[in-house]
Structure 1
Amino acid sequence: MLKQLSALCLVLGLAACGGSDLKDPPVDMGNFRLGLNIAVADNAQKVPISRSATADEWEESIRTAVADRFGRYRGTKLYNIGISVDGYALAPPGIPVVAAPKSVLVITANIWDDAAQKKLNAEGRQIHVWEDGGASLLGTGLIRGRDRQMEVLSYNAVKKVEEWLLTHPEWFDIQGAAPTAVGATPVPEGAEAGPVPGTSIPVAAN
C-alpha cells in the first residue's frame, strides 16, 4: 500500500511541477526594467503544521524568483518591486493521506516608478499561491524537500505578480491591452486567493 501511495504521490508531484516558462521569450512589458528588488519576511506568519524557514531564507528565495523573472526585461525605465512574505505553510514529510497539509504562500506586492520615486499601486496587492495550484489532494512533504517547496512557491508567487502587472499596461507604456504568454490560460481573479485547509493565516494588506 505504501508503495502505491508513494507512486501516486510521485505522479501527482511530477504533474504539479509542470515546466518553467522562464526559458520562453518574456511577454511584452513595455519600457519595464527591474530596479530595486526588495523582499521582506520579518513578520511572516507560519501555519503550525509546517516546516520552518527563516526570514532570510524566504527573502533570498523571493529575490531570486524576482531576478529570474523580471531580470529578463530590458526596457528603458527602472521600476522597483517590493514583496513582503505575509504567511506560509511548508508541507511536512510523512505518510501521504487525503487532505494532507499542502504548501501555500501569502505575499503582498508593491511597485514603484524609480525615477519619480512614486508608488504606482494605491494598495498592496495580496496574492495567495499553492505549491501545486491546489489541484492535488496530497501534500508534497513526502516528495519534495523544504528548499524545493520554497523555490516552487516563490516561482508561483512571482509569476502571479507578473500577471498582475500586465493588467496595468498604462504603468509601462504597453500599447493596447495587456498581452498574455502564448498558450497561457487566463487566471480568474478569485483563483489567486484561498485558505489553507484546516488553518488560517491572518494577514493585513499593506
Structure 2
Amino acid sequence: MRILVALLGLALLTACGGVRDDLTETPEAIGAFRLGHNIAVVNEPAQGPFSRTVTDDEWQATMTTAVADRLGEARFFGDKYYHVGIAVEGYVLAYPGVPLIYSPKSVLIFSVNFFEDSTQTKLNDEAIQITVFEPCCTIPLLGSGFTRSADEQMEGLSFNAARAIERTMRENADWFGGTPEVLEADDTIRIGNVLEDNPELVAPEQVPPADSLASTNPQGTIGLP
C-alpha cells in the first residue's frame, strides 16, 4: 500500500513540472495592463466536504502572493494601471482518502473583478466566478491529501487561480486595450461554483478494476497505510 501511494505520488509530482515552469517565461503583453491594486477579500468562505481547515488570513496571503507573482510588474509593465479584486468564496483542501477507492480533490472557488485605475471603471459587468482544481492533480484515483500539506495545497490552488485570472484577461484583452485570444480548454479551470453545480467532481465515486484491488490486497479491501 505504501509503495503504491509513493509511486502514484511521484507521478503526481512529475506531472506538475510543465505547468509550474510558465512563470519563468516572458509573457506576451495583455494590452496596456500593469498591475495596480491586488486585493483578495476572504470572509469565512464556505468549506466543502472532507476539507482541512485554514484561516482567512492564510488564504488572503497566498492569493495575493500568487497574483503578484503572475501579474506583477516583473512580468507585465504596460502603460496603464488596472486593479484586480478577488473574493475567495469556498474551498476544499482534501484530506487523505482511500487510494483507488475514495480520494477527494482540492478545489478553490473565487470571483474576480477588474478595474481601470485612471477612470475607476469596472471592466466586467458582473463578478466572474471560477473554480480551480490543483494544477497537477491529474493522476487518477489519488488525491493530493496523500502528497501535500494544507499549505502546499493552498499554494497550488492559488497558483492555478492566478493562471485562471490571466486566462480570463487574455480572453477579454479588449478590456485592457489588447486583442482577445482564444485559448484551449483547461480541465483544471471551470467557470462557476463546482461545489454547487457539480459536487461529484470534488468527491467522485472511484471504483477501480477488480484486478487492481486484488493486486493491492489479497483480501480485496484497502485501509489507510
- TM-score of Structure 1 vs Structure 2, range by shorter chain: 0.7 to 0.9
Partner residue of 1:142 out of 140, 143, 146 = 146
More helix by share: 2
After superposition, the Cα gap between the structure-2 partners of 1:134 and 1:148, relative to the gap in structure 1 and judged at 3 Å, is closer
Residues 191, 32 of structure 1: alpha-carbon distance in 2 compared, 3 angstrom cutoff? closer
Indicate the residue corresponding to 2:218 in structure 1. none
Structure 1's consecutive aligned runs of 4 or more residues displaced over 2 angstroms after TM superposition are 16-20, 93-99, 132-137, 176-179, 188-191, 193-200
In the superposition, the TM-score normalised over structure 2's length comes to 0.78
Does the 8 Å CA contact 1:17/1:132 hold for their aligned counterparts?
no
| 2:2 match | 2
Instruction: Work out whether residues 62 and 155 of structure 2, in 8 Å CA contact, stay in contact via their aligned partners in 1.
Output: yes
Name the amino acid aligned to 2:62. S
Structure showing greater Rg: 2
Deviation at 1:28, TM superposition (A): 2.0
1:20 aligned counterpart, secondary structure: helix
SS of 1:128's partner is strand
Matched, 1:151 2:155: yes
Give the Å deviation of 1:198: 7.2
Give 3-state SS (helix, strand or coil) of 1:61's partner: helix
Coordinate RMSD, CA, aligned: 2.4
In the alignment, what sits opposite 1:192?
190
TM-score, with structure 1 as normaliser: 0.84
Gaps of 5+ in 1: 180-184, 201-206
Give the Cα–Cα distance (whole angstroms) in 2 for the partners of residues 157 and 7 of structure 1.
28
Q: Which residue of 1 aligns with 2:35?
A: 34
Q: CA deviation at 1:52?
A: 0.8
Decide whether aligned partners of structure 1 residues 16 and 96 sit closer, same or farther in structure 2, where only a CA change above 3 A counts. farther
Aligned equivalent of 2:45: 44
The alignment covers a number of residue pairs equal to 194
Identify the residue that residue 73 of structure 1 maps to in structure 2. Answer: 76
Give the alignment of 1:47-62 within 5 angstroms: 47-62=48-63
Q: How does 1:15-30 map to 2 (within 5 A)?
A: 15-16=15-16, 18=18, 19-30=20-31
Moved more, 164-173 or 67-76: 164-173
CA contact (8 A) 2:97 2:145 kept: yes
**Which residues of 2 match residues 117-136 of structure 1 at below 5 A?**
117-132=120-135, 135-136=138-139
Q: Which residue of 2 aligns with 1:182?
A: none
